[in-house]
Amino acid sequence: MARLVRRRRLFFTPLLVAIDMSIAVISFYVAYKMRYEPESLFSLGFQADPEVSTPYLHLILFAPFGRFFCNSVCSVYSQGHQLRKRPGEMIDRVKSVCLGSVALMLMAFLYRGAFAYREFSFSRIVFALDWLFNLFLVVAVYSLVRIIADELNRRGLFVRHLAIQGTGHAARDLARAIQRTPELQCSLEGFIADDPGNNPLVVESGPITYLGRSDEVRDIINAHGLEEIVVTDPAALESNMVGFVNVCHKLDVIVELVPDLYGITFGASTVNELGGLPVIQLNEISITGLRMILKRAEDITLSSAALFLTSPILLAAAICIRLDSPGPVIFRQKRIGKNGRHFGLIKLRSMCQTAEEQRQELEANNESDGILFKIRHDPRITRVGKIIRKTSIDELPQLLNVLKGEMSMVGPRPLPVLDVKGEESWKDARVSVAPGITGLWQVNRTEHTSEEMLKWDIYYIENWSLWLDFRILCKSVYVVLTGKGAY
């Protein structure tokens, strides 16, 4: 079965290459026809003077190969990328289209200078139209390809047979993630460990199958048809690491290494050089200096605009809250802010007036795993509260916290003072920046444990950029509109 899956994947990539090359030819041809021969747009062939059409004919022959090269540079053909969802896959394709257009214009420039068309001038309109057509077709076609690939995955045609090496925290987190994310289309066959007796791999759904020792990896791969092994405990392999990887390589099995080793988050790792030796930087200084100024400017601009646009919604929600149940419209709660300082987070009241007093009676029903207090069907929530919580309208007053500098548009979620019973030292990093209305954990809603939430927050701090904020904000809009995971 695993070999059959590999053959299907090998067929899939050449098909995508053929689609890309066809898009390149069609886009440039239509761009040329619209510029020089609009009256014969739907007729094949070049009708214009050969002195005009010949240079474009040469470019149209170069276009598919140039764009194929740019796609390869942007890693859109990397193994597995076509059949598994990955963050930024469409962004990589858009980058490739832009890079391909630059390459095409460079080729046109060299063509004019090196051959007999020095007095000929290519039309900039053709290149602009070619870029637009490519962009449109790539987004449209690959959105359709993604739908088809997801359907094929749903039918089990491209399921990946995977094993986990190790039994520690990272192994358990990975096993849980695979089991609760069926769209990954991974079949977790079991785990590999040299001494599983004292520490077997067990998750909430039950124990994971033990496959064998690391020095038996060849037999394990052949017996279970593995295509991928994720290493979560390289220290257990010790000097056998190279041999382990070599055996997998010879059997065409992918070996991946989780980025969270020995309790250290490697999200911001960079490779530097020191005395002629490569050194890995394991951490990054949090958002300071110019980065802090840029982020504050982003916060002021976006929060001001958002307050102006949502003020009618806030007014309508306030009236509904007042008519629905007794009590104030605004609810304030002490939260942990930057550097551990407490501040009053502002929300629209979505619960009854005695919610805080009732909390102690409901502690036993807490569905969170420790840091947060959450109940899916909380009896304290009012009728209007259910609506404003589902649509996140209750969060809108936090824009005032952003303007005051107590919060940011994007950042770690500010934890309630009452919920935080004790912070470990490594968690201090998440309070080194202003907390946010939304963030990496929030856009995934309830899909992660509190431990994973904290790791997402640290990853965000160490990898912050304006582009990352933009992507999180866009995903936040999608999550709010779909109501995914809100309660």
Give the tens place of pLDDT for each residue, 188-246. 888 888 877 666 777 766 788 888 888 888 888 888 888 888 888 887 887 788 888 88
Q: Which of 254-263, 356-365, 429-438 has the highest mean pLDDT?
A: 429-438
pTM over 0.85: no
Whether 6 has a pLDDT exceeding 60, the answer reads no
Highest mean pLDDT pick, 89-103, 133-147, 395-409: 395-409
Q: Check whether residue 129 and residue 254 sit in a common domain.
A: no
124 or 239, which is more confident: 124
Q: Of 422, 403, 406, which is closest to residue 414 (Cα–Cα)?
A: 406
Q: Is residue 390 part of a domain?
A: yes
Q: Does residue 361 sit in the same domain as residue 389?
A: yes
In a domain, 271, yes or no: no
Do 147 and 169 reside in the same domain of the chain?
A: no
Structure tokens at 243: 């041999």
141 and 10 in one domain?
yes
**Is residue 273 domain-resident?**
no
- 25 and 39 inside one domain: yes
Please say whether the beta carbons of 266 and 412 come within 8 A. no
- How far apart are the C-alpha atoms of 326 and 311, rounded to whole Å? 22
380 within 8 A of 351, measured Cβ to Cβ: yes
pLDDT confidence bin for 105, thresholds 50/70/90:
confident
Residue 81 has pLDDT above 70, yes or no: no
Asked if pLDDT for residue 266 goes beyond 60, the answer is no
Residue 169 and residue 145 in one domain: no
**Is residue 30 domain-shared with residue 123, that is, in the same domain?**
yes
Confidence of residue 130 (pLDDT cuts 50, 70, 90): very high
Among 218, 238, 258, residue at a domain's last position: 258
Please check whether residues 174 and 101 belong to one and the same domain: no
User: Could you give the maximum distance between any two Cα atoms of the chain, in Å?
Assistant: 87
What Å distances lie between residue 374 and 12, 412, 437, 450, CA to CA?
A: 44, 18, 18, 12
Angle at 411 between CA 81 and CA 353, to 5 degrees: 120
**Same domain membership, residue 350 and residue 476:** yes
Indicate whether 283 belongs to any domain: no
Q: For 388-434, what is each residue's pLDDT tens digit? A: 888 888 889 999 999 998 999 998 888 877 666 544 444 555 667 88
For residue 110, being part of any structural domain is answered with yes
Hey, CA dihedral for 226, 227, 232, 237, is it positive or negative?
A: positive
Please state the rounded mean pLDDT for residues 471-487: 75
Q: What is the mean pLDDT of residues 19-29?
A: 90
Q: What percent of the chain has pLDDT over 70?
A: 71
Q: Would you place residue 2 in the very low, low, confident or very high pLDDT band (cuts 50, 70, 90)?
A: very low
In a domain, 86, yes or no: yes
Q: Has residue 485 got a pLDDT over 80?
A: no
Domain, as residue range, for 451: 289-482
Which string of b and e fits 221-231 if b means at least 16 CB within 10 Å?
Answer: beebbbbbbbb
Assess whether 440 and 309 both reside in one domain.
Answer: yes
Predicted pLDDT of residue 133: 93
* Residue 270 domain-assigned (yes or no): no
More confident residue, 203 or 324: 324
45 within a domain of the structure (yes/no): yes
- Predicted confidence at residue 364, as pLDDT, reads 60
**347 and 451 assigned to the same domain:** yes
Please give the tally of structural domains in the chain. Answer: 3
317 shares a domain with 430: yes
